[in-house]
Amino acid sequence: MTSTDTTDRTALVTGASSGLGADIARDLAADHRVLLGGRDAARLGALAGELPGAEPWRVDLTAADDVAEATARIGRLDVLVHSAGVCELGSVADSDSGQWRRAFEANLFAVVDLTRALLPALRAAGGHVVLINSGAGLRANPGWGSYAASKFALRAFGDALRQEEPELRVTSVHPGRIDTPMQQAIVEHEGGAYDPGRFLAPATVARAVGNAVRTPADAHPTEIVLRPTGR
């Protein structure tokens, strides 16, 4: 099977209740049955109603028992997109250990645990893991320490997984700042005026993810970096 064969292909997208995750789900729904991961039942239900064949997959990714129960029902998985995450800003001096723990819990540990639980299903399909990382996973800026550290760690996880599971494809996506509700909260924290034209459109990043997933099987898209042009 090549990545353009779409019969009975299944994708699980976390963070699908809003923002980038929802747009990735919309893109993949063109040729996949999509499981919509998230915690907001109303938003997941509304998106499932919009996308033929999609269904909510309501799971708290930080709850080990919930993850174990939900993944046990998945015997084969072609695509796993990790889009859920958190971002809290603050200097090293001003951020407490709780902020750092929350960043690693959501942005790394939840990703590792879900991937490990789904490895048998991914192996059965010769599947593809997509990690939505960040420009902060390539460089750290002042005030972004806890977030960048978790994203650097996420990149290391992807690099290790790619080498340990040669039958899978593993793609790390490093977008610049995206026009999402999370971005609005970040700009508010920074004290600036929000101008969506400065940022990447979620649909643009979603298309890049879709292109990676649909890359023919003789190629392995390992890393994608996107920067906003401001146009």
Residues with catalytic roles: 147
CA dist., res. 180 & res. 59, Å (int): 22
Residues constituting the chain:
231
State the DSSP string of the chain: --TT--TT-EEEETTTTSHHHHHHHHHHTTTSEEEEEES-HHHHHHHHHHSTT-EEEE--TT-HHHHHHHHTT-S--SEEEE---------TTT--HHHHHHHHIIIIIHHHHHHHHHHHHHHHHT-EEEEE--GGGT---TT-HHHHHHHHHHHHHHHHHHHH-TTSEEEEEEE--BSSHHHHHHHHHHTPPP-GGGSB-HHHHHHHHHHHHTS-TT----EEEE-----
